[in-house]
Chains A and B, each alone.
Chain A
Amino acid sequence: MSTSWQQAFDLGARDAAAPPEPADEEGRRGVLRRLRESLSKSRQALTEEISASLFDRIDEETWEQLEEALIMADAGAPTTAEVVERLEREVEGGAVSPDGEAVRDRLIEILAELSANGRRPIDLSGEPAVLLMVGVNGTGKTTTIGKIAWHLSREFGLSVVLAAADTYRAAAAEQLAEWAERAGAELIRSAEGGDPGAVAYDAIAAARARGADVVIVDTAGRLHTQGNLMDELAKVRRVIAKQMPDAPHETLISIDATTGQNGLRQAQTFSAAVEVDGVVLTKLDGTAKGGIVLAIANELGIPVKLIGTGEKLEDLRPFDPEDFARALLAE
């Protein structure tokens, strides 16, 4: 069974056993639709086959084709070599029997294992819990925040405050405001060009005052190569930590599924500035497989926690290593 919302989040002392009953007909229909969808997805996951012919015969060409598939999924040469060599060794050494199904199952195991390295639920045990979103420009931070807010409210009945700490980009606060409205969350913002740390501060203060459960802080997209911007991010984090020890409780980096090997550099550099706890892998509704997260989990120990699958509020799911492993090599 795929990872559930309950498994993806650690809500601490809060009683979130029962999500609130949707009051209206539309709300109920929505729940039923999502349930149906998630069931069909799990069925799909079980039957989603790795490229059919790949393991019909086990020979030299098999390993080459597997290598090609993993490279094309952006897993990168080092991780690809590691996976292929390991599997080849196990098959040749007799640990895995050389028949198609056994090899396929073992491959999924290996890939799932790799992608689950460092895996932990998203920590929302703080009161309020503070979640910091960071990432390169255009990776989907703001949209993801809207989705998370909506799901936290729908799945767990949590109240959310959004901090529009992207004070750089034109109309960034307007964009987040729209998401806040859709998700039923409150928005704290400042004038454009204001201090991002101050917005985060105000948002946490507001959350405390109103007894809100979660604060999600949006930040401006920035290239990891811009040292001064990385310093600014570190500063925002310090402001949050000073206000509330242990906060931010969770820092997530958004990585676009179409990103190539540079994704590893991104995760590394952001992590050096602000201690990243996990990845949100976005835009998986495209054709890119997001294989770079294998390298990120394997080499940096930073796990994927959520995946984004579209531009609507509902298009967010907890990361499931096995589903991901299957999808990685599927046609």
Chain B
Amino acid sequence: MFDQLSDRLQATLSDVRSRGKLGEGDVDAAMREIRLALLEADVNFKVVKRFTKSLKERCLGAEVLESLDPGQQVVKIVNEELTGLMGGEGRELALSSSGPTVILMAGLQGSGKTTACAKLARHLAEQGKSVALAACDVYRPAAVDQLVTVGGRAGAAVYEQGTEADPVEIAAWALDRARAEERDVLIVDTAGRLHIDSDLMDELAKIRKRTRPHDVLLVVDAMTGQDAVGVAESFAEAAEFDGVVMTKLDGDARGGAALSVKAVTGKPILFASTGEKLDAFERFHPDRMASRILGMGDVLSLIEKAEQQVDERQAEDLQRKIQGDGFTLEDFLQQMKQVRKMGPLSGLIGMLPGMGAMKQLKDADVDEAELDRVEAIILSMTPLERANPAIIKGSRRRRIAAGSGTRVQQVNQLVKQFDQMRKMMKMMMSGEQPSPQQLAQMAGGGAPRPKYRRR
């Protein structure tokens, strides 16, 4: 999808060079494309409007006007602006200086609160903390049972009083108990509630008052559409939440709600929940989310996923190879095989840089076909060529194309993208963040643009 955006922008601004000047009309056209892309990603309509307005101003400035490739420049700016909006650095949970740290979890029905509570509990327990969970959802059938089960699995104590007691009282009692038992953390699970249900929002405010939490977290489902803003604003008013947990990020929802919530409430997204298992929980990375919203590759997550599949030692070997520039097309082929073993491609494909365009194709079979093609190209290479793709020129290219039933252009594209990806992986491995320009280059793929190649 990023490829698409990048291509669309380039097409829109392609004749600028011949005219020699970028006009407001051109920038408007570019803003339309970006607006569409963000709306597709479920970013709130009003947030998109504001965003494209300030973006337009920047785009009418010298850095785009004087650029030799305005399309690419715009893409770079969009990524920068989005990343900035998404929050820059992540933030830590506020901790208590004496007595248990109280974390209150709130959100709509079905957002994933109970699972998130257990995951957060596990996350903290792994850091050596003693964690307790308070079961304050007395409405949803078997909610208490669910928390007891998953809380137990997370290694936390679960404080419950069944479904007959009042949630506010349960919360207060749980806090007393957590203090008495000298717990480090008390996580309070609450019932899902509509932001327009005044009785339940009052209840939430009361729970907050009684437990005086150090952190109030709003749990938001990544697939939430335009409604995210209204929900966040109401919860901000009633519960004054400090941060957000985004859930179900293992799906293929672009997650524009994350941007909307952050833009409108100013509250950071602290955690990302990425699966149903208890360990599928991580710190939220704003830059990765920005890429995802734009439809770009998320290489780090992919590497992490691959590492989970591959055993420890192999992972270390891989890391060494990448850092030492020894990562070859052969290695990539092996990694890809591992990746394909993992299961559903549509989720993972979105993570492979430069493969963004494939997500556009609705038929999952075609995604497989695309990867088959990549595999075929690599398999048509000699081991030397896989180890050192720089030697692939002229007749070698033609031979590989013929052998894999592809076009020379496609072979070129793979080699170029691989090169970019390798550079990026190397940077990330050594803790550097690739610049948005480099990301833009790589996802842009296609025709060579030597002027923009970094050393």
Contacts and interface: CB of A to CB of B under 8 A. Distances in A.
Interface of A: 68, 71-74, 76-77, 136-140, 168-172, 174-175, 177-179, 223-228, 230, 256-263, 265-266, 268-269, 272, 283, 285-288, 292, 311
A130 to B, nearest CB: 23
B68 to A, nearest CB: 31
Nearest to A228: B343
Given A68-B45, A268-B362, A260 B226 contact: yes
Contacts of A223: 248, 250-251
Nearest to B153: A170
A177 B230 CA distance: 34
A258 B227 contact: yes
A262 B344 contact: no
A283 B110 contact: yes
Interface stretch (B51-59, B83-91, B141-149, B412-420): B141-149
A170 B110 contact: no
Contacts of B143: 171
A258 B108 contact: yes
A302 to B, nearest CB: 14
**Which of B142, B146, B224 counts the most A-chain CB atoms under 10 A from its CB?**
B142
Q: Which 8 A-B pairs have the closest CB atoms?
A: A260-B225, A138-B110, A260-B42, A178-B141, A227-B344, A170-B149, A171-B145, A288-B227
Contact of B150 (A170, A175, A258): A170
B225 A265 contact: no
Contact of B227 (A74, A225, A262): A74
A223 to B, nearest CB: 4
B364 A272 contact: yes
Contacts of B254: 261-262
A226 to B, nearest CB: 6
A283 B224 CA distance: 12
Contact of B252 (A262, A286, A287): A262
B40 interface: yes
A177 B146 CA distance: 14
A72 B226 contact: yes
Contacts of A74: 42, 225-227
The interface size bin for chain B is 35 or more
B40 A285 contact: no
Contacts, number: 146
Contact of A138 (B195, B221, B230): B221
Contacts of A175: 140-142, 145-146
Interface string B103-143: 00000111110000000000000000000000000011111
B110 A171 contact: no
A292 B140 CA distance: 27
A261 B145 contact: no
B109 A140 contact: yes
A260 B110 contact: no
Nearest to B114: A170
Nearest to A255: B223
A287 B141 contact: no
A229 B364 CA distance: 15
A258 B143 CA distance: 22
Given A178-B142, A268-B362, A283 B149 contact: no
Interface string B43-70: 0010000000000000000000000000
A286 B347 CA distance: 29
Interface string B224-247: 111110110000000000000000
Contacts of A73: 226
Given A169-B146, A228-B343, 16 more contacts: A74-B225, A74-B226, A138-B110, A138-B221, A172-B142, A174-B141, A178-B141, A258-B224, A258-B228, A259-B223, A262-B42, A262-B223, A263-B223, A266-B223, A286-B194, A288-B225
Contacts of B230: 287
A46 B324 CA distance: 71
Nearest to B111: A138
A2 B141 CA distance: 31
Contacts of A76: 39-40
Contacts of B110: 137-140, 256, 283
Given A259-B225, A268-B362, A71 B39 contact: yes
A60 to B, nearest CB: 16
B346 interface: yes
Contacts of B256: 260
A148 to B, nearest CB: 16
A302 B274 CA distance: 29
B196 interface: yes
A74 B229 CA distance: 13
A258 B196 CA distance: 14
A260 B223 contact: yes
A288 B253 CA distance: 17
Contacts of A257: 227
Contact of B276 (A137, A269, A287, A288): A137
A255 B194 CA distance: 17
B257 interface: yes
Contacts of A262: 42, 223, 225, 251-254
Nearest to B345: A227
A260 B227 CA distance: 8
Contacts of A260: 42, 223-226, 253, 256-257
B36 interface: yes
A226 B227 CA distance: 26
A174 B225 contact: no
A170 B146 contact: yes
A263 B248 CA distance: 13
B137 to A, nearest CB: 12
Contacts of A136: 223, 248, 251
A261 B40 contact: yes
Contacts of A258: 108, 221, 224-225, 227-228, 231
B141 A179 contact: yes
A138 B224 CA distance: 12
19 contacts: A73-B226, A137-B248, A140-B110, A168-B276, A174-B142, A178-B142, A223-B250, A225-B347, A226-B347, A228-B344, A256-B110, A256-B221, A258-B221, A261-B40, A262-B42, A268-B362, A272-B364, A285-B194, A286-B195
A179 B227 CA distance: 29
Instruction: Select the residue from A230, A260, A261 with max chain B CB neighbours within 10 A.
Output: A260
A226 B251 CA distance: 8
Central interface residue in B226, B253, B345, B364, by most chain A CB within 10 Å: B226
